Structure formats: structure tokens, C-alpha cells
Structure 1
Amino acid sequence: MHINILAGGPEELLPNLNEYTGEHEIWVGVDRGVYTLIKKNIIPRIAFGDFDSVSKDEIIVIEEHVKELKRFKPEKNETDMELALNWAIEQNPGLIRVFGATGGRLDHLLANVQLLVKPLMAANDVNIFLIDKQNILSLKGPGSYKIEERVDKKYISFVPLTLSVEGITLDGFKYPLKNRHISIGSTLCISNELISDYGTFSFSEGILLVIRSNDY
């Protein structure tokens, strides 16, 4: 089972969502993302939001199509995205994809990136990916990982999300590293590339933001 979450980010940044509509895919709508899903003929199983970003006519459409609608007051401690992601993690899916969470407001973007740390803090091994037309973002804790080449996502960057990341090693990359220390604010691991079908990266301490990107 895979869970896909659509937030209310700019529609022009979305990839083709119909690629994620198989029988093992569950869709979750967040605020305006619920209406966007319905317009694309994808009916979410559950929706979360205060729905302050939709019109009265649009909320009527949402109520007509979504059976399980979790409505909240705008004055709350969590964002709509955090509420949806908490629910998704509790379902123990194989992975979680989040769309519509980049672009637009920078505070929302940074908050959504930080939400990726939730499984790491809870010792939950579910993988969460933030995906838009140009990027795929994920967070990794200490360990060793295999990463495969993607023609549509040529560039791979590793950004420290903690004060430091220790023992980072990159094999199979255009710019390899061996047991290096990188601090937050370092651009050492920006815009790398694989030189074969796959590569590996590993590190012993810290949290890494892994970004796979392509140019327009």
C-alpha cells in the first residue's frame, strides 16, 4: 500500500498524478488539494483541512465527493499537512508521496521539508518523498543506501539538515567522497551526478536531505 497526499501548492508544479492511481494507491487530500484531486477525477479516501483556501461552491463539491472529511478550525497547533501526514504514517504504508507541498510560500515549503523527519524521530522506516515536476526530496538517517540513475532526475544533492553529517561516503558518483564531514551551510555535495546505473551513499551521524532534480 502506498499513500499519496496532495496539498494546495501551485498546480503548474505538479507531475502527472495519473501515474499514481493504481489499485494499491490511496489518495489523501489536504485543503485546496482536495478540490484539485476531484478536478483530476481522483477521489481521495480521506481529506484534511480548515478549507480556508476554497470557495463556498468548491467546498460543496468537496463535500459531495469525499466520504471522510476531517475539518478543523484555522486556529490550531498543526498545519493541515502535518495532520494528514500523521494519519498517513499511522497506516504503516510501504511509502508516502507528498505532492503540492513545494512552491508558493517559503514558510510552508520549509515546514513541509521538516515534516519529513517524523519517521526518523519515531524510529519508523516508512519512506516519505516530496515530489514536484522538477524535484524529489527525501530525508535519510545514518546508514548505507543504494540510489539508481534516473534520466529525468539527473542531479543529486545531499544537504545537511543537522549541524553536521559525519562520515559521508559517495561511490559511483562523478564527484566521489570518502568519510568526509560536512556542516550545515556547506555546498560541498550540491549538484552531483551518477556515472553508472546506480551508486551508493553512506554516513554515520546526522540527517541528510537528498534532492534529485532536473533542469527545466
Structure 2
Amino acid sequence: MKPKNIGIQMTDKALLFINGVPPENLPDTINYSLIACSDGAFHYLKEKGFPLEKLDFISGDFDSHSGKDETIYHEKFIFTPDQNKTDFEKSLEIIKERGYKEVDVYGGSGGEMDHFLGNLTVAFIFKDDLKITFFDDHSHYFFAPNILVLNDVKNKLISLYPFPKAENITTKGLKWSLIKENLEITNRIGTRNFAQENSVTIEFDTGNLVVFIGN
């Protein structure tokens, strides 16, 4: 894939906007070699003055788009009418097919909470193929690997959320430490903790754990 900025080293990372609550501040696009959005997110990007020519593709059924949009951005539209999958899921499939392994997602939280939970479930489905990190105006969050080291996080809010459980969790650098302990959605979760050190280590043996890091 050709870089879009001569002289700038691009990463093989994708940026995806989906149709949750729009971010107050749009991210810098310079570090992404693919930029995409769902057709619902297209509208808020347009309203916020995002340079739409930077989009590599727009995925959706396009039932809310005007003829003008279709004329200008026709070559970027990828028609994905499958109602058995969410727009987020369909967009991730395209990104995966294009060979990407890492994607940052904006617009994945807020608003109707069933959408937020649905987006977490989609991220869980893809977690072995794509490193997905969600960003919103409060935090960023992701499914953690079994050994995770966080740097430059002193005094930040750190929440551990089992999905639905994670076992033998040990942490270093948090205010309330865990030592070979289990978290389970129906019993005990690990939200609203804080980093006491600049570097925090989180390890667990089995299960799935979503880590939230406050801004």
C-alpha cells in the first residue's frame, strides 16, 4: 500500500470511525495507513469538517446518503447490506481482508448502551485476528493479552473488566493489587482502580479481560 504522505513513516495500523457518540476531538490521522468509517459515522465526520478525501472506504447500506454524497465519494463506498452483522463487524472484516492486524476505533461507546455492549462482543470475536483499541472522550480500552505492561499511567484510572471471567490475575503498580485472584462478571469485577506507579503490570492465566485506561 502506498503511503499517503511522502517522507513520513506510516504504520500498518487502521483507523475506524463507527456510529456511536462522536469524539469531541478527532484524532491525528498521520500515523494510519488506512482510514475508514461506517456510513453512519460518515455524517458526523462531515459535520465536524473531517477531510473526507482521506477515507479509504465507507461501509454500510447507505440508506441515509444523498445523491451528492454518492456522486463525490462513490469509489469509496463498499455496499454491505447483510442485516445479520453490525456495521462495525462488516468494517472489521474488510480491514482484516486488507491485511491489517491493528485498528483504533472511535465512536464505539456512548449513546445506546446495547450498541456499546454489542461492539465489545464484536471486538471479542475478532480479538485473535485484530488488536482493537477503542477510544472515547473518557478513556481507551481493549482486550488485554495475558501479560500486559502499561507505561506512563501514574494516577490514571485503571479498570479491569472480566469478559465474562479471567483467572489467576496478578497486578503490580495499582492502588488495590490482585495476587492470583479471579474476576467474574457475575461475582466480582475490578473497576475504578488507580495506577500508583508510572508502570503497571497485569498478568492472568485464562479467560478474557478488558482493560480501561482513563485519559
Give the TM-score normalised by structure 1. 0.83
**Match of residue 4 from structure 2:** none
1:138 aligns with 2:142: yes
Find 1:148's aligned residue among 135, 138, 151: 151
Q: Give 1:15-26 correspondences, 5 Å limit.
A: 15-19=24-28, 21-22=29-30, 24-26=32-34
Return the letter of the residue paired with 1:9.
Answer: G
- Alpha-carbon deviation of 1:66? 5.2
- Alpha-carbon deviation of 1:104? 1.5
Return the letter of the residue paired with 2:84.
Answer: N
**Match of residue 45 from structure 1:** 56
Offset from partner CA, 1:121-145 (integer Å, 9 cap, x none): xx43x3101111112120125x211
Find 1:7's aligned residue among 2, 7, 18: 18
- Alpha-carbon deviation of 1:206? 0.4
Structure 1, unpaired ranges of 5+: none
- Alpha-carbon deviation of 1:183? 1.8
User: Does the aligned pair in 2 maintain the 1:167–1:179 contact within 8 Å?
Assistant: yes
- Change in Cα spacing, 1:118 to 1:37, as seen in structure 2 (3 Å) is same
- Counterparts of 1:8 and 1:183, CA distance in 2: 29
Return the letter of the residue paired with 1:25.
Answer: S
Q: Give 1:30-179 correspondences, 5 Å limit.
A: 30-38=38-46, 39-42=49-52, 43-52=54-63, 54-56=64-66, 60-61=68-69, 63-65=71-73, 67-73=75-81, 76-120=83-127, 123-124=128-129, 126-141=130-145, 143-150=146-153, 154-162=156-164, 164-179=165-180
User: Does the aligned pair in 2 maintain the 1:117–1:139 contact within 8 Å?
Assistant: yes
Find the residue that maps to 1:114 and give its secondary structure.
Answer: helix
- Change in Cα spacing, 1:71 to 1:197, as seen in structure 2 (3 Å) is same
Offset from partner CA, 1:60-89 (integer Å, 9 cap, x none): 22541352211233x621111110011112
Return the letter of the residue paired with 1:5.
Answer: L
- Counterparts of 2:70 and 2:24, CA distance in 1: 22
- Counterparts of 1:66 and 1:44, CA distance in 2: 12
- Alpha-carbon deviation of 1:114? 0.8
Identity over aligned pairs, percent: 22
**Match of residue 210 from structure 1:** 211
User: Does the aligned pair in 1 maintain the 2:13–2:31 contact within 8 Å?
Assistant: no
Return the letter of the residue paired with 2:194.
Answer: E
- Change in Cα spacing, 1:18 to 1:97, as seen in structure 2 (3 Å) is closer
Offset from partner CA, 1:91-129 (integer Å, 9 cap, x none): 333520111121122221111011111333xx43x3101
Return the letter of the residue paired with 1:93.
Answer: Y
Find the residue that maps to 2:94 and give its secondary structure.
Answer: helix
User: Does the aligned pair in 2 maintain the 1:160–1:185 contact within 8 Å?
Assistant: no
- Alpha-carbon deviation of 1:55? 4.9
- Counterparts of 1:189 and 1:115, CA distance in 2: 22
Return the letter of the residue paired with 2:137.
Answer: K
Return the letter of the residue paired with 1:96.
Answer: V
- Change in Cα spacing, 1:191 to 1:149, as seen in structure 2 (3 Å) is farther
